[in-house]
Amino acid sequence: MATALIILAAGKGTRMQSDLPKVLHQIAGAPMLVHALKAGASLSPERTVVVAGHGADAVAKAAQDWDETIEIALQTEQNGTAHAVQQAQTALTDFDGDAIVIFGDTPFIRPETLEAMTAARKTHDIVVLGFEAADPGRYGRLVQNGDQLEKIVEFKDANDQERAITLCNSGVISANLPALFDLIDQVKNDNAAEEYYLTDIIGIARAQGLSATVVTCDEAETLGINSRAELSNAETLFQARARSEALENGVTLQAADTVYFAHDTVIGRDSFIEPNVVFGPGVTIESSATIRAFSHLEDCHVSRGASVGPYARLRPGTELAENTKVGNFVEIKNATVAEGAKVNHLTYIGDATIGEKANVGAGTVTCNYDGVFKHHTDIGANAFIGSGTMLVAPVRVGHDAMTGSGSVITEDVPDNALGLGRTRQVNKDGFAKKLFDMLKARKAKQQKGH
């Protein structure tokens, strides 16, 4: 059965105290909305509709940056969850299949849970995701009769007996799409909040002889984010899960609690991650690599056997081949470092290609930016770049070539050649003492004047 995914993302999130729409606040380097989209994508939906409201343009951009085929529906007035889902009807007029409704501020629902809901749809008309709450609080309650879900009662409208129920509603619902919209058309707003509740479709469906059931999940999966404190707790939860998964997959985390992952970090088995490493979005680390302490990586690829850090920064577009070495206080951006090459100390490499087994000495800078354009530096295989070399791009240092320490290289260095770009040194006898005496006298005069 074909599936349509409807994601509700129209809320303002007043408790966030932010101009940014609630679903765009980030967890592990990605908006909450993207986490929800990733979970829903596991179902391979034929259509995805995001219902936006507050900050709709920004929400739409975030969704379509992730997947340009996503459709956007607008909820201009906040009249409840049933009303929100109803806004997707126009976009899905021609769709005849199942729908699953999830929330853009509920980022931790596992693909396995959504798949379980899809399986339950084979035997029931409506499937609701529920959870046993440690503290039911103000959650809606799921009222069951055997395996049949009879109704969902919002806390505001529940009696004492219903409030004693600990099986709570997550808000996630799956049903046949045309049937879902038909049921929503029958929802009334005669409740304490005067809103159109999506949950009311259960009672309407049961009255029409349709079946409904509950699939349960761990309470942590249903965590909704409504405040900065909850956002912080969600980040903590994500990081704990990511660390646990990395350890289970054969990655060594020397001080696991100090390593931070992005939503899409990939690390191969037998890699060794030292303390205080931060992975930004878009990082892939192959097997048996070492990332040493206090390094920061973003949108880069580190191949098998490579070593990075300590105190290294790999910026977007960095590609390290096998058995490369990037050392302390090295920054690399938009550059390819070929197999066996070394960039070990206090160096900036930007917009460059470094050949196999080349060695880049301490204090080297690729001077890649002229204030308007970026220019490329090409360092050949087996080249040796002397310490303190300024490579003024565009420039090429050939295979097996060398630059002298302290050189400013403004022209290409041919293969096998030595490039020198220094001014001639001149020593002036006794001048240092004269200069210091003059400066000290000037300082003394200034101090006496005060």
Would you state the structure tokens that stand for residue 25, as one six-digit string?
């606040």
Q: What is the DSSP letter of 23?
A: G
Q: Give which of 140, 148, 203, 146 is closest to 167, Cα–Cα.
A: 140
Instruction: Round to whole Å and give the CA distance between 102 and 111.
Output: 12
Helix, strand or coil for residue 256? helix
Could you confirm whether 296 is annotated as catalytic? no
**Amino acid at the residue 227:** S
What interhelical angle do 32-41 and 56-66 show, nearest 10? 40
Provide the phi-psi class of 310: left if phi over 0, else alpha when psi is between -120 and 50, else beta: beta
Q: What is the DSSP letter of 393?
A: S
Residue whose tokens read 């729908």: 99
Would you state the structure tokens that stand for residue 79, as one six-digit string?
């009249």
Would you state the structure tokens that stand for residue 44, as one six-digit string?
């391979």
Q: DSSP letters of 286-322?
A: -TT-EE-TT-EE-SEEE-TT-EE-SS-EE-TTEEE-T
Catalytic residue among 35, 124, 301, 345: 345
**The residue count for the chain:** 450
Peptide bond into 111 cis (omega under 30): no
Cβ proximity of 75 and 82 under 8 Å: no
Instruction: Round to whole Å and give the CA distance between 315 and 330.
Output: 11
Helix, strand or coil for residue 326? strand
Helix, strand or coil for residue 419? strand
Sequence-distant (6+) residues with CB within 8 A of 449 are: none
* Cα distances (Å, whole numbers) of residue 176 to 146, 208, 310: 23, 15, 54
Give the pairing of strands 126-132 and 212-216: parallel
* Cα distances (Å, whole numbers) of residue 286 to 29, 139, 188, 322, 406: 21, 43, 55, 9, 35
Q: What is the Rg, in whole angstroms, of the alpha carbon atoms belonging to the chain?
A: 30
Instruction: Round to whole Å and give the CA distance between 42 and 49.
Output: 15
Beta bridge partners of 4: 47, 99
Instruction: Round to whole Å and give the CA distance between 125 and 238.
Output: 33
Q: Which residues are catalytic?
A: 345
